[in-house]
Chain A
Amino acid sequence: EVQLVESGGGLVQPGGSLRLSCEASGFTFVTYSMNWVRQAPGKGLEWLSYISSSSDLISYADSVKGRFTISRDNAKNSLYLQMNSLRAEDTAVYYCARSYAVTSTFDYWGQGTLVSVSS
């Protein structure tokens, strides 16, 4: 069974940093691309970032480019999102989602981890 489990969310002050993790199981992680998608409270979904299976292709939404960094460790079956210079508008549930390639749909999602940015 495919499982994606996010962790690392919490309360952080504006300007602070946080690192999210997504641990994958139930599939061959090294053969899949991964994404981060977020959802602000009561709002819609927003795609944030993509990383290919070998980390050779990475892309970001304009809203997080230069502040967030996606990475992965295939030996640990894990995906990461380093979030710096956090703002109140970054408050959201952050989901990791699997895709086969950059043009593929997000076929499995984790349950999400909540990030709250507030003083």
Chain B
Amino acid sequence: QSALTQPASVSGSPGQSITISCTGTNSDVGSYNLVSWYQQHPGKAPKVMIYEVNKRPSGISNRFSGSKSGNTASLTISGLQAEDESDYYCCAYAGRRWVFGGGTKLTVL
């Protein structure tokens, strides 16, 4: 049960856009449109930002968007803001189990 592959870190300036990739296999990301993205601030519980590849829960800014192509999912954050600085995790359904990515630290310069 290998973790999904995410870049360890990404950075961007306020107002810019960034994209975080999440690469899995045809047993998880590639098999189901069931990829979620979670934001986690230090010492806090994770919070879902995107579910089912590209859906936003109520209350989540439309600056956050998700997509998927083949075995790779992506999270894009546009109009970067200081409060977006956080850790981000992708998570994919893999048939009666879930697998997380290793996490990406987003730094807003």
* A interface residues, Cβ below 8 angstroms from B: 35, 37, 44-47, 50, 57, 59-63, 95, 97, 102-107, 109-112
Q: Determine whether B79 belongs to the interface, using a CB cutoff of 8 Å to chain A.
A: no
A106 in complex: contacting residue of B48, B97, B101, B102, CB < 8 Å: B48
Q: Are A105 and B101 in contact (CB under 8 A)?
A: no
Q: Are A109 and B98 in contact (CB under 8 A)?
A: no
Q: How many residues of chain B are within 8 Å of chain A by beta carbon? A: 26
Provide the bound-state CA to CA distance between A37 and B44, in Å: 14
Q: Are A62 and B45 in contact (CB under 8 A)?
A: no
Nearest first, the 5 A-B pairs at minimum CB distance are A105-B51, A109-B45, A47-B98, A44-B103, A105-B36
Write 11 A-B pairs (CB below 8 A) sorted by A numbering: A45-B46, A46-B100, A47-B91, A57-B96, A62-B1, A63-B1, A95-B45, A103-B34, A103-B93, A105-B34, A105-B36
* B interface residues, Cβ below 8 angstroms from A: 1, 3, 32, 34, 36, 38, 40, 44-48, 51-52, 57, 89, 91, 93, 96-103
Q: Are B103 and A105 in contact (CB under 8 A)?
A: no
Q: Are A105 and B45 in contact (CB under 8 A)?
A: no
Q: Are A44 and B3 in contact (CB under 8 A)?
A: yes
Q: Are A102 and B91 in contact (CB under 8 A)?
A: no
Q: Are A44 and B34 in contact (CB under 8 A)?
A: no
Q: Specify which chain A residues have a CB less than 8 angstroms from the CB of B38 in the assembled complex.
A: 45, 106
Q: Are A45 and B45 in contact (CB under 8 A)?
A: no
Provide the bound-state CA to CA distance between A51 and B18, in Å: 36
* Nearest-Cβ distance from residue B65 to partner chain A, whole angstroms: 16
B46 in complex: contacting residue of A57, A60, A109, CB < 8 Å: A109
Provide the bound-state CA to CA distance between A11 and B18, in Å: 40
Q: Are B89 and A44 in contact (CB under 8 A)?
A: yes
Q: Are B45 and A44 in contact (CB under 8 A)?
A: no
Q: Are B97 and A59 in contact (CB under 8 A)?
A: yes
Q: Are B96 and A102 in contact (CB under 8 A)?
A: yes
